[in-house]
């Protein structure tokens, strides 16, 4: 039967695919590169998680959104079971409400992710502002002269 399937789907023989005599062993350099990439990604992820620990209220929001999503999915499953056991005429409304429950679960998950992304955005903006503030203190101080409207008009006319 496998020969017929191989011919039907135009696949190579099973012996070629399962030949384990030639195992591909990655080189030490390739392995080191993969390890460095994984460690870099983990360090970035740890930094993000540490930054989120400073933000208060994010954990409670995440817990609330998880609860809402879980309840919505439970309701979806109950409505789907109910929809299978009612008449065809009533099943349409039940399935429509079941799809609404899935939408609520999706919105709760999206809200959780959106809150995290907004926090990251705010952290980046704060870091950018702090960076520019530090540059401003190192640079020369700029003296500004304050004029009222009449003095500016005299300067423009060339009277002063």
Could you read off the pLDDT of 58-97 as tens digits, one per residue? 677 788 888 888 998 999 899 889 989 888 888 889 889 9
CB atoms within 10 A of CB 100: 14
- In this structure, are residues 11 and 5 in contact, taking their beta carbons and an 8 Å threshold? yes
Looking at the fold, whether 89 and 100 belong to one and the same domain comes out as yes
Domain that holds residue 44: 27-55
pTM: 0.44
Residues 69 and 120 both lie in one domain: yes
* pLDDT tens, position by position, 1-22: 577 878 877 878 877 777 655 5
Q: Kindly report the length of the chain.
A: 160
74 and 109 inside one domain: yes
Please indicate, yes or no, whether residues 66 and 128 belong to a single structural domain of this protein: yes
Domain count, the chain: 2
**Distance (Å, whole) CA 160 – CA 147:** 13
Note whether 101 and 63 are same-domain residues: yes
Q: How many CB atoms lie within 10 A of CB 105?
A: 20
């Amino acid at each position: 039967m496998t020969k017929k399937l191989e011919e039907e789907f135009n696949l190579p023989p099973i012996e070629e695919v399962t030949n384990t005599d030639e195992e591909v062993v990655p080189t030490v350099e390739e392995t080191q590169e993969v390890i460095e990439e994984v460690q870099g990604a983990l360090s970035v992820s740890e930094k993000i998680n540490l930054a989120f620990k400073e933000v208060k209220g994010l954990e409670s929001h995440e817990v609330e959104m998880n609860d809402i999503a879980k309840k919505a999915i439970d309701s979806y499953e109950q409505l789907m079971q109910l929809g299978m056991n009612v008449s065809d005429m009533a099943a349409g409304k039940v399935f429509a409400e079941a799809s609404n429950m899935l939408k609520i679960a999706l919105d709760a998950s999206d809200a959780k992710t959106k809150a995290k992304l907004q926090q990251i955005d705010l952290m980046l903006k704060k870091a950018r502002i702090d960076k520019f503030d530090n540059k401003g203190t190192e640079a020369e101080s700029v003296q500004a002269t304050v004029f009222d409207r009449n003095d500016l008009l005299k300067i423009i006319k060339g009277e002063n």
